[in-house]
Structure 1
Amino acid sequence: MTSPSHRRPAELPLLLAFDLDGTLVPELGNEVPVKTAQALRRLHGLGVHLAVITGRDLVPEAIAQAAPFSALASQNGGRVVIGGELHTSASFTPEELEAILAHELEGARLILYSDGTLYLDPPPEGQLPGWIATRGYRPLAEARGQVIEKVGLHHAGVAGHAARLRAGQPQLVLTGAQPPYEQYLTVTPSGAHKGAALTRMAEALKVPLSRTAVFGDTDNDIAMFEVAGYAVQLGTLPLLAQHANEQLAGPAELGAWLDHLADSLEAQA
């Protein structure tokens, strides 16, 4: 899978950027596996820049503190923090948000994300995913007039709504609505994707994009796979495989890969 022009990185400068769920941590996990965290700290000590680029709206504190990350991006790359300072925050125009919410999907569950606040109407049975119940939320009606950075829609018919949005609002960034998330669609504003976040981080940290390596597992990682110097897929999702230089089985294998990279960098010193 690796071509001669895309070999495993083995020298500085270097920026490594990680998706969270299914990549740096198990799905919906909130702690970096011990071996991975140790390898990340070792790489940082060798001069490697580390970053997170996630679809989540917040990077959990335990993950952010697991290693000395130079940059953290959330909202699928729409919110970027570099060196502890907010660098970019993308949001929808009122017209864009109106088009997204005009979904015609009866019974759809919507979540609107705004800088740490969730807006949603709970399902009739009152059951919510554990992470939402823990975080808390505001009623969906209160989102009007707020700065919204991401919208998630859950419904069996989201693929049709995605097609309508692509036709009427082509500037929006859509992920999901296809395997393995056939019933979940994520929408972010123009330019709010992981490729743009990686580009901003690399520029700010003075690392050429050719000296970046990224790690991800699903379709919202394609944008950063396309611009990075080297791309490592976690898992075997076919639509991502064509953009990857290498595959790992899952998060449990990541620590060993990173330790091997650290060995290579030490050999170059």
Structure 2
Amino acid sequence: MTATASGATAAVSREPGSMPALVACDVTGTLARPGRPPRAAVLDAVAAVRAAGHHVVVATGRSLVGAVQVARQLGVRDGWVVAANGAVRARLHPDGFTVAEVVTLDAEAVCRLVARTRPDLRIAAEVVGTGYRVTDRFPARQLAGYEEVVDDPVGLWARPTPRLVVHGQWAQRLVPALRAAGVTAHPVRVDWVDVTAPDVSKATALEQVREALGVAPGRTFAVGDGENDLEMLAWAGTSIAMGQAPETVRAAADRVVGTVEEDGAVAALHEVLLRR
């Protein structure tokens, strides 16, 4: 599966004897404020890290379409992206991307649970590289890609999907029931829950990326701000939390930088450049 990608590739100017690092970065709340693209200071920091020969990997809960959009904004034309909280892994190249792995979930069981307990909630099933199949249209700019409204809920699970989004008032209250059903459920917001297959996380996908790149475990960095980043932070050789992250996330990290409003990711990325 391919799609057009754009952006400038930073030149490599690594110091002799230095070892490449893998830098995994969450997007919303880390590289960018909600609903906004990364700011110039963040773009410059990403370019500097890549120019030094290191690998910057977008690791996000967003769909593959959204992950590729962010990679373009960052100027990353080649490398890896981890999307759908680790359920999708893709390799970027100058003229697009190639999907390396998709881990699907039992969407029917989740959709029936939601319909039985909270029929008022919207559900979206990710279509890898395209968009979503949805029970009803989502608010503007909430989903990246095309939205296909299905008249029959069976349409949500008629084709395999790596991720479901459950959206609506107090949707997060369904998290315990979803987890009890055996799936991975992350409450992104009070009104938004991401659902993926059991034992899938950003860390599971990033470990495969690390092995493919041949990066030493001790040369891995992760920067994040949410509950869905906890496994990624535990996986990394050096873990960094954003200043506005919940206490549980900050406590799980080796260090804490400024908030996303303060462009804390810049300090995190600069730390990579200081490590030899």
Where does the alignment leave 5 or more consecutive residues of structure 2 unmatched? 1-17
Where does the alignment leave 5 or more consecutive residues of structure 1 unmatched? 1-10
Q: Identify the residue that residue 156 of structure 2 maps to in structure 1.
A: 143
Q: Identify the residue that residue 71 of structure 1 maps to in structure 2.
A: 80
Match for residue 139 of structure 2 among 129, 132, 138: 129
Q: Identify the residue that residue 43 of structure 1 maps to in structure 2.
A: 49
Q: Identify the residue that residue 254 of structure 1 maps to in structure 2.
A: 265
Q: Identify the residue that residue 5 of structure 1 maps to in structure 2.
A: none
AA partner of residue 209 (structure 2): M
CA deviations on 1:228-261 (whole Å, 9 max, x unpaired) are 1111111231121221111122232322442354
Query: What number of residue pairs does the alignment pair up?
Result: 245
| Residues in 2 aligned to 1:181 and 1:98: alpha-carbon distance in whole angstroms | 19
Partner SS state of residue 137, structure 1: strand
Partner SS state of residue 230, structure 2: helix
Per-residue deviation at 1:43? 1.5
| Residues in 1 aligned to 2:107 and 2:147: alpha-carbon distance in whole angstroms | 21
1:240 matched to 2:249: yes
Percent identity, please: 19
Distance 1:34 1:79, change over 3 A: same
Per-residue deviation at 1:135? 3.9
Q: Identify the residue that residue 201 of structure 2 maps to in structure 1.
A: 193
Partner SS state of residue 49, structure 2: helix
Question: What's the TM-score, normalizing by structure 1?
Answer: 0.80
Per-residue deviation at 1:218? 0.7
Q: Identify the residue that residue 86 of structure 1 maps to in structure 2.
A: 99
Per-residue deviation at 1:186? 1.4
Aligned partners of 1:82 and 1:201 also within 8 Å: no
| Residues in 2 aligned to 1:240 and 1:249: alpha-carbon distance in whole angstroms | 14
When the two chains are superposed, the root-mean-square deviation of aligned CA atoms in Å is 2.5
Partner SS state of residue 148, structure 2: coil
| Residues in 2 aligned to 1:132 and 1:105: alpha-carbon distance in whole angstroms | 20
Per-residue deviation at 1:48? 0.7
AA partner of residue 33 (structure 2): P
Aligned partners of 1:113 and 1:148 also within 8 Å: yes
| Residues in 1 aligned to 2:252 and 2:142: alpha-carbon distance in whole angstroms | 32
| Residues in 2 aligned to 1:207 and 1:134: alpha-carbon distance in whole angstroms | 31
| Residues in 2 aligned to 1:62 and 1:163: alpha-carbon distance in whole angstroms | 32
| Residues in 2 aligned to 1:42 and 1:60: alpha-carbon distance in whole angstroms | 20
1:15 matched to 2:22: yes
Partner SS state of residue 66, structure 2: coil
AA partner of residue 131 (structure 1): R
Q: Identify the residue that residue 8 of structure 1 maps to in structure 2.
A: none
AA partner of residue 50 (structure 1): V
Q: Identify the residue that residue 118 of structure 2 maps to in structure 1.
A: 105
